[in-house]
Amino acid sequence: MSRRILIAAVVAGAALLAAGCGGSSDSSSDTSPTATWADGLCTAITTWTSSISSIGESLKGGDLSKDSLNSAVDDAKSATETFTSDLDGLGKPDTEAGQQAKDAVDQLSTDLKAGVTTIQDALDGASGISGIIAAAPVIVTTLGTMGTQTSSTISSLQSLDAKGELETAFKDAPSCATLTGS
C-alpha cells in the first residue's frame, strides 16, 4: 500500500510539472530575434517537462526501492541541470523589457537549482522504506513547486512589457505552441 502511495505521489508531481507550463496556441513563421529567444525558452521547457514526466512514468512500474528512487532523482537532477544551463544560455531578448525577462529567467534557474538540492537532501536523508515514504512528499511537493515556478515565469514573461513584444514572441515561437494545454 505504501509503495502505491509513493508511486502515485511521484506521478502526480510529474503531472503537475507537465500541466504547469502554458503558452499560446497561435503560431506563425515570424523569426524575429525575440521570437527566437521565446522559442529557445519553450524548447527548453518542453524538453525538461518531458524528461520529468518520463521519470514519473518509470516509477509507476513498481519495484520502488531506494536505488530506483535515487536513479529517478539523479535523472531529474540531470534534466534540471541541462534545463538551467539552457536558461542561463538564453541571454536577454531584444525588447524594452529584455533585462527584466533575463532577470526572471535567471531567477527561475536559481529556484530550480534550489529545488534539486531540496529533492537530493530529502533522498539523502531517507533510509529504509519508511525513510523513502517520508521523503516522497518532500520530493513531490518540490517537483510541483518547480513546475509552478516555471509556469509563473512564463506568465510573467508574457506580460512584462507594455508593448506586448514578449507576449507576441511567445505566440510567434513554434515550440511555444506545444506548451498550450487543451
CA distance 116 to 122: 10
CA distance 29 to 15: 30
Contact 171, 37 (CB under 8 A): no
Q: Say whether pLDDT at 167 is over 90.
A: no
Q: Say whether pLDDT at 119 is over 60.
A: yes
**Stated pTM of the model:** 0.76
* Domain ranges for the chain: 2-177
Confidence grade of residue 5 (pLDDT, cut at 50, 70, 90): very low
Interval 67-108: pLDDT, tens: 877 888 899 899 999 999 999 899 899 888 899 999 999 999
CA distance 10 to 137: 8
Residue 64's pLDDT is 64
Confidence grade of residue 6 (pLDDT, cut at 50, 70, 90): very low
Mean pLDDT (whole number) for 152-159: 84
CA distance 12 to 143: 9
Residue 132's pLDDT is 78
Confidence grade of residue 17 (pLDDT, cut at 50, 70, 90): very low
CA distance 86 to 112: 12
Q: Where are the alpha helices (DSSP H) in the chain?
A: 2-19, 33-60, 66-88, 98-124, 128-158, 165-172, 174-177
Which CATH number applies to 2-177?
1.20.120
Contact 27, 172 (CB under 8 A): yes
Which residues fall within 8 angstroms of residue 91, CB to CB, at 6 or more apart? 37, 102
